[in-house]
Structures are given as C-alpha cells and as structure tokens.
Amino acid sequence: MKLKSKFSFLATLLVVFIISGVSICWFIAERRYMINQLKENQVSLVDGLVQVSKEYLITKDQILLLNYINFLVHNKKIVYVIFSGVDGKILAHTDIHRLGETDKTIVGIKAIKTEKLFIQSYQNKKGKVITDYALPVFMERKKSGIARIGFSREELNKAIKETVFQTGKRIFGITLVGLIIGILGSLILAQTLTRPIKKLTSGAKMIGKGKLDTIIEVNNKDELGALAKEFNLMAFQLKELDQMKQDFVSSVTHELRSPLTSIMMYIDLFFKGATGELTEKQRNFLNIMKNSSKRLNSFINDLLDIAKIERGKMELIKEPLNMTTILQETIQLFNIQADEKNIKIYSKIQENIPVISADQNKIRQILNNLLSNAIKFTPEKGIISIEIQNISEYLQVSISDNGMGVPPEDLEKIFDKFKQVRGVKNKIKGHKGTGLGLATVKAIVQLHRGEIWVESILGKGSTFYFTLPKVK
Ligand SMILES: Nc1ncnc2c1ncn2[C@@H]1O[C@H](COP(=O)(O)OP(=O)(O)OP(=O)(O)O)[C@@H](O)[C@H]1O
Ligand SMILES: [Mg+2]
C-alpha cells in the first residue's frame, strides 16, 4: 500500500471515528434533553390548570376555568382535564356529563390523596394507556382541590419520536458535512505530506540511474526539507567523487596508452625481422603478446570512449554512408571468428537501402560490438542473421542469434556500463569482456538520434535492434 493511501486511509478512519463518536454522544444528549423538555411541558400545563383553578376557587367564576380547559382540549396529547374538590367531586371536566359526579376510579382516589405532583399510568376502558398528572391546589396552605390532566401515552411517544427524528436528521446533516470536510481535509493533508516524499523518491531514482546532477526541490521547512537538503548534498559529493574517478580513469588510460603503443610497435618490428629470423616458438610467443596487447588496447579505447560519452565530448564526423557495404564488410571481417565456432552468418538486406549521413567509424563500432557479442554468446554451430530494413523515416538493423539469450530482468541493465549477465563469463570460452560494449553502442546510436533495444528468450536467443534516422 502506498504511503499516501495509507495516510489518507488512517486519517479518514480517524475523522470518521471522531465525528461519528461526537455525533452519537450529541444525539443521545439531545434526545434526553428533548424528553425532559416534553415532561416539563406537561408539568407546566398541569401547573397552569392549578393556577386557573385557584382563580376559580376565589372568584367562583367558571368562565376562565372552562376557557383554559377548552384551550387544553385542542392539544392532541391530552385525553382529559379534571378539576375536583378534595372530596372527589368533579368541579370541571372535559366531559360535561361528569360534572358534579364523585370520581371513584382507583386513579382518581389515589390522586386525591397526593400532596405533591403525582404521576400514574394506567389503561383505560378503550385500551389506551394514559399517563395521569395530578397536582393538588392549595389555598392558604390548605389543600382545596386536585387538578389532573390525562395524557395519551401513544401521542406522547409519537411526539417524542417526531422530535427525536427531527434532531437526528439535523445531526445527521451536520455530521455528513463534517465528514465530507474531514475526509477532503485528510486527503489534501496526505497529498501535501507525500508530495515531497515522491520528489525525494524520484530524485533518488535519478541519482541511482547515474544522473548525479539531479537537484531535489523541496521547499518544506520541516524534516522533509532537511532530508532533501542532505540528499542534494550527497548527490553533489557523489558527483565530485564520480568526477575524480573519471579523471583518474582517463589519466591512467592515457598513461597506459603510450607504453602499449610502443610495445605493439616493437612486436611488429620483431615480426618484420628487425632482430633477425624468428624461430617457430618465438613467433608463437610474440603472437600471444600481440593478441594480448590488442585486447588491452581495445579495452583502453573502450574506457576512453565511455569517458568521452560521459563528459558529452564524443563528437560525430558525419558523411554519406552506404549501410549495405559497411554491413557486408563487417560480416566478412567476422566470418573468420564465426568459422572457428562453426557459426553461420546470414544477411537479409532490402533493396534500395538509401545512403544516410552518419559517422562511419562509429557505425562500424556498433556493428563490431553487436556481431562480436552475437558470436561470443552463441554456442558452436549456431546461426546469426542480420537484416536491414528501410522503414519510413529510418533504417532498422537487427542482429539475431540463437545463443544463450538474456534473462528478462537484465534486458534493460545490459546497456549500462560494466553490466554483464551474472554467471555468463563462466559459460564462454576465450576473451570474457568487461561490459562496456553495449553502453558505448547505445551512446553512439543515441548520438545519431536513433534507438536501440533487445528482444530475447533465455536459452533460445536474442535479437538486438537499432535504428538510424534517414534525415541529416
Ligand atoms: N547476443 C547476446 N546474447 C546473450 N547475451 C548478450 C548478448 N549481447 C550481450 N549480452 C549480455 O550483455 C552483457 C553486456 O554486453 P556488452 O557487450 O556490454 O559487454 P561484454 O560483451 O560482456 O564485454 P565487452 O563488450 O566490453 O567486451 C554481456 O556480458 C552479456 O551478458
Ligand atoms: Mg560486448
């Protein structure tokens, strides 16, 4: 899982957890408050009835009491309103038929006895559950009557449900908005935090690929900024070290070159008889010396080429070039080597291959390297085929062999300097090489604005392709 996804996931989880937790607590508290509020409302209605009943007892004017009862009747939650004397005689009732009656119901008898707010629930004859609120009416500290209101439990529950639903809806809306803002916030935060890490990663990749002048631009003033600074410093020091290494290699190779040239020259003089007639044994020894010196010379040339490429100092001397001729000459040159291993080289050259503008020596270098690799990594009695195709804006050359092939994980790497497929050296006879050939070839192809790639099946063979543009 990517760091950004991990961080976004955790931050989102935290936001969801906190906001949901807060919302649930808020909802519970709000619900409790609403229920209490409803209860207080009911008590205040009974309290109102007590006040109006007191007025009635003082003035004996029934109008006010009846008006209040009429007003209460409109409330859907109220089933009945009763004001009775301490003897249980009903002085006012929502049902006028019961006026003057003595309330003998158990609820009524219990209510009369109370000295303070008394709440009881019961089921009436119609099967409805009623909650009866009774509050005594005191006149000059003397209990003078009982005010009672019967509330329908069903309606009360409905009212509670409705308020709870409305509250829930409101809290849900706010929670949703909070969640959206929170999740967006955590995504933006994850993006902001991981952007410099991404930059550091791609910078490290570039440095790993050898681009030591890479500078990572992270302007953060935090630990990531400090890390980027250290990274840039490290890349700078690596570049200095690399430069020192390059300087060292090129001075060593230059120093080796002059004595080697004179060794080779003197070997040639020996062969030409400058020191008299040579015996067979002397010729053999001198041949070995000549071959070793040639190899050392070509290694030095490869090192110098790579150094030139790395410094951007390799230059092309372009001239009109007939690829067909150059290819045929190269094949002829390598036929001797191929014969030694009983390898056949076939060529397939399209007609009318146009003359292109390229550096002849460098193109020969490409073909030499690819062909010598093909022979080197193909066992005896193998087959090598070379093809030139004229494809729209470029020429495409391919060199195929049925040799040992390259493992898929190494297909990219073999074009890097000093990279050779692991264990390959033990499988080949003779000169093992140093892994500079393909790096030089790739640089030369790219200098010509062409492309190079390889297709290979391990154990079956490889085909190296390169293109050269036709335009100058
Ligand atoms: N035709 C091929 N078949 C199989 N493997 C190949 C082939 N060409 C190249 N390789 C692999 O790629 C590696 C790099 O090739 P490259 O030409 O750069 O180096 P080299 O041939 O080992 O040494 P040098 O070219 O410096 O003498 C080789 O060591 C080999 O493992
Ligand atoms: Mg090679």
Among 365, 369, 371, 377, the mutation site with the greatest number of ligand 1 atoms within 8 A of its Cβ is: 377
> What is residue 209's predicted lDDT score, i.e. its pLDDT?
78
Q: How confident is the model over 285-311, as pLDDT tens digits?
A: 999 999 999 989 988 988 888 888 888
Tokens of 365: 């270098």
Please check whether residues 282 and 375 belong to one and the same domain: no
**Is the confidence at residue 472, as pLDDT, over 70?**
no
Residue 182 lies in a domain: no
Residue nearest to atom 22 of ligand 1 (CA): 435
Ligand 1 centroid–CA 6 distance in Å is 42
Please check whether residues 445 and 333 belong to one and the same domain: yes
CA nearest 360: which of 389, 298, 317?
A: 317
Residue 196 lies in a domain: no
Domain span at residue 237 reads: 223-310
Side-chain half-sphere exposure of 117, counting CA atoms within 13 A: 13
Residue nearest to atom 19 of ligand 1 (CA): 435
Please check whether residues 434 and 297 belong to one and the same domain: no
Q: Can you tell me the distance from the alpha carbon of 463 to that of 400, in angstroms, rounded to the nearest whole number? A: 4
Please check whether residues 35 and 93 belong to one and the same domain: yes
Q: How confident is the model over 307-360, as pLDDT tens digits?
A: 888 888 899 999 999 999 999 999 999 999 999 999 999 999 988 899 999 999
Please check whether residues 246 and 294 belong to one and the same domain: yes
Please check whether residues 272 and 325 belong to one and the same domain: no
Please check whether residues 80 and 107 belong to one and the same domain: yes
- What is the DSSP-derived secondary structure letter of residue 77? T
User: Which residues are CB-contacts of 6 (< 8 A; sequence separation ≥ 6)?
Assistant: none
Q: How confident is the model over 42-86, as pLDDT tens digits?
A: 999 999 999 999 999 999 888 888 899 989 989 999 999 999 999
Q: How confident is the model over 82-109, as pLDDT tens digits?
A: 999 999 999 999 988 988 999 889 999 9
- Taking the CA of 438 as reference, the closest ligand is 1
Ligand 1 centroid–CA 418 distance in Å is 10
User: Which residues are CB-contacts of 309 (< 8 A; sequence separation ≥ 6)?
Assistant: 439, 440, 443
Residue nearest to atom 27 of ligand 1 (CA): 433
Q: How confident is the model over 127-180, as pLDDT tens digits?
A: 999 999 999 999 988 999 999 999 999 998 898 889 889 988 998 999 899 989
Residue 127 lies in a domain: yes
User: What's the CATH code of the domain at 246?
Assistant: 1.10.287.130
CB atoms within 10 A of CB 240: 11
Ligand 2 centroid–CA 433 distance in Å is 6
Residues whose beta carbon lies within 6 Å of some atom of ligand 1: 302, 369, 373-374, 377, 401, 403-406, 414, 420-421, 424, 433-439, 462
Specify which residues 123 forms β-bridges with.
129
Under a CB-based contact definition with an 8 Å cutoff, are residues 452 and 465 in contact? yes
Residue 198 lies in a domain: no
Residue nearest to atom 13 of ligand 1 (CA): 420
Residue nearest to atom 25 of ligand 1 (CA): 437
Please check whether residues 63 and 153 belong to one and the same domain: yes
Specify which residues 455 forms β-bridges with.
463
Side-chain half-sphere exposure of 84, counting CA atoms within 13 A: 28
